[in-house]
Amino acid sequence: MSKWLLRGLVFAALMVVVRLLQGALINAWETQALLISVTLVVLFGLASFVWGILDGRADAAANPDPDRRGDLAMTWLLAGLFAGVVSGFVAWFISLFYNNVYAEALLNEVTTFAAFTALVTFLTAIAGVSVGRYLIDRNAAPLERQREGSDTDRADTDVFEAVRDDAQPTAAVASSGGTEETPNGDRQA
């Protein structure tokens, strides 16, 4: 099972539980609807933040070089999108039989609500990944960069290679007294 699918399934199930709890709690305490909704979304975001911290720490510990680390942003984006669409569909399906779930039409659930779920999951998880990587990197020894192969291996993509090649003509101009000859034979200062 891929990393994003596991995370997507877990957070889809968690969002369905949040929606069921939201419906039950709001029906019990109608005057506290805003507080209940915000609290449940914060708890959902906190769960993805904690998992993101664990992902970031594991990735930073496995790959000390930041350039070699995994693309956790794409993993969490796919997980959030999957969780949003699946949880929206499941919540809509449950609302057909259980009236206490606050669900809209199928199209709204798999688009608008899915986008909200994906955004909350992605943003909090990526914040957690950043914190997790920072927690490992702050105590790490300085990383020495070593180039593989010689300097000419990447001459076609190295932007500073052109500057290195120009070092000789500049020295020749300076030694000739500051004048150089143009292609048509004139001297310039």
Closest alpha carbon to 19 in 81, 128, 93: 93
Euclidean distance between CA atoms 12 and 34, whole angstroms: 22
Return the amino acid letter for 47.
A
First to last CA, the chain: 70
Tokens linked to 81:
């999108």
For the segment 70-126, what is each residue's pLDDT rounded down to a tens digit? 788 898 999 999 999 999 999 999 988 888 888 788 888 888 999 999 999 999 999
Inter-helix orientation angle 72-95/33-62, to 10°? 150
Residue 43 in this model has a pLDDT that exceeds 60: yes
- Residues 5 and 77 sit within 8 Å (Cβ to Cβ): no
